[in-house]
Structure 1
């Protein structure tokens, strides 16, 4: 589904479509995406340094994956260890709900700073729509997240969209995905 929102060149080996992944975790997407879309140059990052070894092991020998970097998405955009206006895409999968709201507060303006004009901010995960869960299982999941950490929880799509609009993005699409998740894509104006 992501490929629908990327230029055709992103799938071609001679292209260089630079992607910054926020919240890479153990590195599954850092392997899968560049393997299948060979025009991607993938920059994995995470706040938790314990993931660096896993990402390095998963991506060893992959020429289109850069070395893992530590990135605190809750930091002010100027503190992100990446160049301004360098990336074509900022990709964030299953992080916004398993992180304090400060991560979302940093993610959107941070993406606005490091993306080129026309670059994409992509999030994947569960969202509430109009303040309501899309499934009972999401309500249960949200309750379990908040029980583990009161700063965590499924975010309201409209709130996230408003933050994106306020940071100079326009919504390109919101796609229904398996397990009551959404793929959301904004374009930097």
Structure 2
């Protein structure tokens, strides 16, 4: 499981992410405003599974499918899901956005991707956009969350330091330029429709499939 967060194990064996606990509420408020009341959602790079449980609990009309390429992450998701006992939370999928053979057929009404784009190679962002085009109907939502670089917007010192730490860990990682991400989405028929400022110098970028 790729993460820069201080992950710890719970007594039950699940992983606990302080960042997930902090940002779940603000992210949920944005999702509530833009997700349909009913339908199916695919979560990419679901990590510990805490987001999946929180969102599925708060959005009972949505069938929530978490996914992660990490077996460790999927095991944690299973523990959190079993404890929550939510009827609309599906078993985690072993989905890797860089491996098309692992992609589900869909369809899904929305795809949610939290804190992946900067902690993965650029090929993962390109794969995310191709996956979204495959599984979303026209009008379907792709929601991403994380820190970005933006033209004309000074980079916050905390984000600059974070970017340096990411690149030190892996030169292929790092904060992405928002316009570059939007261009990769546009190449797959996805239009950036909303930019939402979030706590701690993060953004939510909302895309809709238009073609």
TM-score if structure 2 supplies the norm length? 0.81
Given the alignment of the two structures, is residue 112 of structure 1 paired with residue 133 of structure 2, yes or no? Answer: yes
Which residue in 2 is equivalent to 1:28? 50
Which residue in 1 is equivalent to 2:108? 87
Unaligned runs of 5+ in 2: 1-29
C-alpha deviation, 1:80, in angstroms: 3.3
Given the alignment of the two structures, is residue 2 of structure 1 paired with residue 31 of structure 2, yes or no? Answer: yes
Paired residues in the alignment total 179
- Structure 2 residue matching 1:70: 3-state secondary structure: coil
Runs (4+) of structure 1 exceeding 4 A deviation are none
1:64 to 88, 91, 94: 88
Distance 1:146 1:58 in 2: 31
Structure (1/2) with the larger strand percentage? 1
TM-score if structure 1 supplies the norm length? 0.90
- 1:120-135 alignment runs, 5 A limit: 120-130=141-151, 134-135=155-156
Distance 1:89 1:41 in 2: 10
- 1:1-189 alignment runs, 5 A limit: 1-7=30-36, 10=37, 15=38, 17-60=39-82, 61-76=85-100, 79-84=101-106, 86-130=107-151, 134-189=155-210
Cα distance 1:131–1:151, how it changes in 2: closer, same or farther (>3 A)?
Answer: farther
C-alpha deviation, 1:133, in angstroms: 5.2
